[in-house]
Amino acid sequence: MHRWIILSALAPLAACEAEPQLATLTEASPETVEALTGVLAAALGRASIQLGPGDPSLEPVISVLPPQPGPMEGNSPAMPALFDIVLVEGDCYVRAHSDGALHLLAGLSCVPAG
């Protein structure tokens, strides 16, 4: 009986957490892309990044190209880092495919992916 009381008390808390919904940015202006790349660079711990092909205002998945191989390296096995654009309770985030971490896209707006 005691367990049911605890579970029923915790149920509303679990219901409050919204499931992330795939989204796209509302625009892909140079300012928006600059803000997006700043968040992605911070998420990857890199000073600068290069986005892969695609338009974040049309596609919910963003790829970040790996760093270029150095002069002493041949072929690099590095793969692009992938992120989803998601909406969570009205806020726009990018979610890393590698670990599921969410990074807020402050000041950017997005809409559910169609």
Q: What percent of the chain has pLDDT over 90?
A: 73
pLDDT at 8: 45
pLDDT at 103: 98
Each domain of the chain, given as residue ranges in start order, spans 18-112
pLDDT at 92: 98
pLDDT at 4: 41
pLDDT at 73: 80
45: left (phi over 0), alpha (psi -120 to 50) or beta: left
Mean pLDDT by 10 residues, the chain (114 residues): 44 62 96 97 96 96 92 84 97 98 97 92
- Compute and round to an integer the Cα radius of gyration of the chain: 18
Positions of E strands within 35-100: 61-64, 81-88, 91-96
Task: Take residue 17 and report the two structure tokens written for it.
Answer: 């957490």
How far is Cα 37 from Cα 56, in angstroms, rounded to an integer?
11
Confidence (pTM): 0.81
pLDDT at 16: 52
Q: Partners of 24 in the beta sheet?
A: 111
